[in-house]
Amino acid sequence: MTITPALPSDFLFGFATAAAQIEGGGAEAERKSGRGDSIWDEFCDTPGKIRDGTHVKRTCNHLELYKEDIALMRSLGANAYRFSLSWPRIVPMGGKGDPINQKGIDFYNNVIDECLKVGLVPFVTLYHWDLPLELFKRYGGWLNKARIVEDYTNYAKTCFELFGDRVKHWLTFNEPWCTAVLGHGIGQFAPGHVSNTEPWIVGQNLMIAHASAAKLYMREYKAHQGGMIGITLNGDWTDPYDESPENIEAAQRKMDFAVGWFADVIYLGRYPQSMVDILGDRLPKFTQEELGLLKDSSEFYGCNTYTTNTIRATRTTDEFAGYTKMAFDKPDGTEIGVKSQLGWLRDVPWGFRRLLNYLYQRYKRPIYMTENGWAIKGESSLSRAEALIMITDDEGRVQFYDGYTQALKEAVQIDGVDVRSYFGWSFLDNFEWASGLGPRFGSVYVDYETFERIPKDSATTLMQFFKDNIASK
């Protein structure tokens, strides 16, 4: 009997990275590269903001080692590479009238050309959180709708013109929820603001900037460049603590605040009613012109997801979770998922399958999985010698990827969900924002002193899954 492969021949698979998390080789190298400071540079300069005191300027030195990294990625079996462009590396001060940095343009041209040379499809994110610091100082960055939309759209246009002849897969934004909530709500991420009004303003401005850039691409570049464009959103599955009506409703409310905030507006043309009911006038209204701009502004659903939570209607102070209680426990006293290095992350593959079904049924768009990954409990505290022993057997990450890729396969093959890519997070151990260089999500080990790269078992096993389950062309 012939077994039909679960995934189509044009399925994209590989690893994901972000510019701010891997490019830096040190302060002097960054200065010579011409990159302007981002809000993360200033955030890292502020004592106590980064858990281990490390800095975005010195991460994995991808700026110099990109050829080695791309060759390694391809040798492991990947057919695509999701990476981001750094706005302050291309336009150091960020604004429409500001000069561009030719060294930055040369670097990304080289990365793209190297991908194509070895047979990797470049899947490019325009914005992965590293706002040019100058724009924040000039007018408050994402808080100023008119100016930030204009400057971001100009930056996107610059990228379409410089790279669009070779890049056919574009993402406007990575996880706008994090920019709005972690950056402007609870202050955990740059620029570090704490507010119950700013996140909703920033969220709206991000959506309008996304739509402005996406519609520009569709109008002026898509026909002759032949690419596609969308946005990628974070959001984890919410499972009701039990089958009581109030907990079922709470799980949906949490999904509304995590996913629907952006996805319902972009794909359905409205905010979730639960957000309207809870936030009232703090939730900015869209004009009819803005809603028209947002309509059909994302050609697919870009999905970043990592875990699953159990949700109770128990009233909390967490407005960003719709006042629900998020946990991992069940009524019988058990907990879902294996624990990771991070308190919020558990290994729950069945929740991933349910999420894929939910997104496809609700938004009716093909899904590009753009991030999914694991940080093994205790891995970050290992010495180099201990880490090198573990590299040959990073069992926790292998187990995570085995479970999640099997759930992906079942969602496609059994449930009929249209999923077109999968990118493991991350290719390299890297700078994990406010956690610094602590958590190791990489399928490739990085020695942060020497920048040496050593593949872990998960790098091979993850790529092998796709080679085994994708139809031959």
Q: Looking at the annotation, which residues are catalytic?
A: 175, 371
Say if CB 391 and CB 451 are below 8 A apart.
no
Q: What is the dihedral of CA 193, 182, 272, 235, to 10 degrees?
A: 170
Q: Is the dihedral of CA 158, 161, 166, 170 positive or negative?
A: positive
Distance (Å, rounded) from C-alpha 435 to C-alpha 41? 14
From the list 106, 8, 21, the residue with the least C-alpha distance to 69 is: 21
Contacts of 125 (CB under 8 A, 6+ apart): 18, 82, 83, 84, 85, 171, 173, 174, 232
Largest CA distance in the chain: 66
DSSP string spanning 163-179? HTTT--EEEEEE-HHII
Measured in degrees and rounded to the nearest 5, phi and psi for residue 6 equal: -70, -30
Report cis status (omega within 30 of 0) of the bond before 8: no
Buried b (16+ CB within 10 A) or exposed e, 314-345: eeeeeebbbbbbbebeeeeeeebbbebbbeeb
Instruction: Please report, as a single letter, which amino acid is at residue 284.
Output: P
With 0-12 / 13-18 / 19 or more C-beta atoms within 10 angstroms meaning exposed / middle / buried, residue 196 is exposed
257: region left, alpha or beta (phi > 0 left; psi from -120 to 50 alpha): alpha
Distance (Å, rounded) from C-alpha 412 to C-alpha 28? 47
Q: Is the dihedral of CA 234, 239, 240, 241 positive or negative?
A: negative
Q: How far apart are the first and last CA of the chain?
A: 20
